[in-house]
Amino acid sequence: WRQANLAVLSARDSHGDRTYLIAEDGLQMATSAGARAAGMADRIGSIEVGKRADIVIHTLNRPEMIPTTNMIRNLFYSSRSKSVHTVIVDGKVVMDEGRLMGLDEAEALAEINKAAMAMLARMGKTIEPNQVARPGRQV
């Protein structure tokens, strides 16, 4: 999603024309055109019978989604991960009300932290809590 957003903004900037590409073009890049480019248009990229049901539903109840004057523009330019309400992958709800289904977030974060600390140890690096590590500089 972010890549399509950057592509639209970059093209507009490089051409000096706000209308060179618009939100609708970016939405198409992120969906059907992206699926065609990946050679997967027969399976993804649009909501059709027989295709995977991969859908992201955003809430409008976020400051970045206001005003609700043009939903495609709001979605494309303003939506952020915090506005994601529901995610459906291949027809299965994997996120509901902004919470991942079947995942203990505290446990997952603890495992990620443990793995990161183990990686730092393998690299011979130590970082004190709340300390910025900059080579050659005293903190």
pLDDT in tens, 39-98: 999 999 999 999 998 899 999 889 988 888 889 998 888 888 899 999 999 889 999 999
Q: Are 23 and 76 in contact (CB under 8 A)?
A: yes
> 11 falls in which pLDDT band (50, 70, 90)?
very high
Q: Using CA atoms, how far apart are residues 20 and 128, in angstroms rounded to an integer?
A: 49
State residue 132's pLDDT score.
Answer: 62
One-letter identity of residue 105:
E
**How many Å separate Cα 103 from the centre of its chain?**
19
